[in-house]
Amino acid sequence: MTLWRIQAVVDESPGRLAALTTALALCQGNILDLTVQPDSHGAVDEFFVMAPPSVGQDLLVNALTTAGGRDVRMRQAGMDELVDAATRALGLAARLSSDLEELPGVLLELLGADAAEVLPATAGSTGEAATPDSGDDLHFLLVPLPDGSTVRLARRALVFTATEAARADALVRLAERLSGSGRPPEPASHCHVVLSDESELLVRPGLPGDASAVAQLHRRCSPETRRLRYFSPRHRLSAGMLERLLDRRYGHTLVAVSPQGQLVAMGHLLPAAEPGVAEVALLVEDAWQHRGLGTVLLRRLLALGRCQGFAELSAYVPPGHTRMLRLLRRVGAAEEFDMADGLVRVRIPLSPVVIASGQPAPARSGG
For the chain, what are the domain ranges? 2-81, 85-184+353-357, 191-307+312-349
Average pLDDT over all residues of the chain: 82
C-alpha to C-alpha distance for 38 and 18, rounded to whole angstroms: 17
Q: How confident is the model at residue 125 (pLDDT cuts 50, 70, 90)?
A: very low
Q: How confident is the model at residue 363 (pLDDT cuts 50, 70, 90)?
A: very low
Measured CA distances, 85 to 30, 78, 111 (Å): 19, 15, 10
- State residue 51's pLDDT score: 93
Task: Please check the confidence at residue 248 and state whether its pLDDT lies above 50.
Answer: yes
79: left (phi over 0), alpha (psi -120 to 50) or beta: alpha
Q: What are phi and psi of 146, to 5 degrees?
A: -60, -25
- State residue 124's pLDDT score: 43
- Residue 259, Cβ neighbours under 10 Å: how many? 10
Task: Please check the confidence at residue 120 and state whether its pLDDT lies above 90.
Answer: no
- State residue 340's pLDDT score: 52
Contact partners, residue 292, CB within 8 Å, separation at least 6: 195, 196
pLDDT digits (tens, 9 = 90+) for 16-75: 889 999 999 999 999 999 988 877 667 888 999 999 999 988 999 999 999 988 889 989
Containing 297, the helix (H) or strand (E) segment is helix 293-307
Lowest-confidence region among 241-245, 295-299, 308-312 = 308-312
Task: Please check the confidence at residue 365 and state whether its pLDDT lies above 50.
Answer: no
Task: Please check the confidence at residue 190 and state whether its pLDDT lies above 90.
Answer: no
- State residue 304's pLDDT score: 87
pLDDT digits (tens, 9 = 90+) for 314-344: 898 888 888 888 888 887 777 666 655 778 8
CATH number of 2-81: 3.30.70.260
Where are the alpha helices (H) located in 99-238, listed in sequence order? 103-111, 162-179, 211-220, 223-230
- State residue 358's pLDDT score: 56
Contact partners, residue 99, CB within 8 Å, separation at least 6: none
One of 3.40.50.1370, 3.50.50.60, 3.40.1530.20, 3.40.630.30 is the CATH number of 191-307+312-349, namely 3.40.630.30
pTM higher than 0.75 for the full model?
A: no
Biggest distance spanned by C-alpha atoms of the chain: 75
- State residue 88's pLDDT score: 87
Do 201 and 287 contact (CB within 8 A), yes or no? no
